[in-house]
Amino acid sequence: MDSQVAINDVIRQFFTAFDNREGRIPIRENLNSLFAPGAIVATHSGSAPVICTVDEFARPRIELLCSGRLVNFFEWETHAETQVLGSLAIRRSRYAKSGQLEGRPYTGTGAKFFQMALMGGTWRIVALSWIDDVARPSSV
């Protein structure tokens, strides 16, 4: 399979893993095949990045999506650039998200950076960093 096609499929599966529209139930195990053993996730949302394992990243999000507090949630890529150098790939994704959190609209945009490795003929995520765009107040 062409590397770009395979990488696109991994990224599509990543975003789909957190989709709870139409009664979908996010399942942690669906992420296992996407990540390399020992992969890390860095969240850049506070004063300092939070670096965690894939399980530490996924568990609270899946719990929220299954709790009924955040419904009709999904994320999707709005733009992507991928660079492949042999068994290394870097993908910069712009994304948007939408849902209802505790009955109110929940939307946003941001960037995700995926570092991937070709392992045993399959592309796996070895590191993921992401940051939401900061909402800016509208000017008067």
Residue 139 is predicted with a pLDDT of 47
- pLDDT tens for 16-27 read 999 999 989 888
Residue recorded with tokens 């599966």: 13
Residue 31 is predicted with a pLDDT of 86
* 83 and 71 Cβ atoms separated by less than 8 Å: no
Burial of 73 (0-12, 13-18, 19+ CB in 10 A): buried
Residue recorded with tokens 């000017």: 139
pTM, two decimals, is 0.89
Residue recorded with tokens 């999000």: 61
Domains of the chain by residue range? 3-132
What whole-number distance in Å separates Cα of residue 37 and Cα of residue 53? 10
- pLDDT tens for 32-42 read 889 999 999 99
What whole-number distance in Å separates Cα of residue 95 and Cα of residue 35? 19
Residue recorded with tokens 């929220």: 64
Residue 134 is predicted with a pLDDT of 80
Give the fold, CATH level 3, of 3-132.
Answer: Nuclear Transport Factor 2; Chain: A, (3.10.450)
- pLDDT tens for 50-77 read 999 999 999 999 999 999 999 999 999 9
Residue 135: is its pLDDT beyond 90?
no
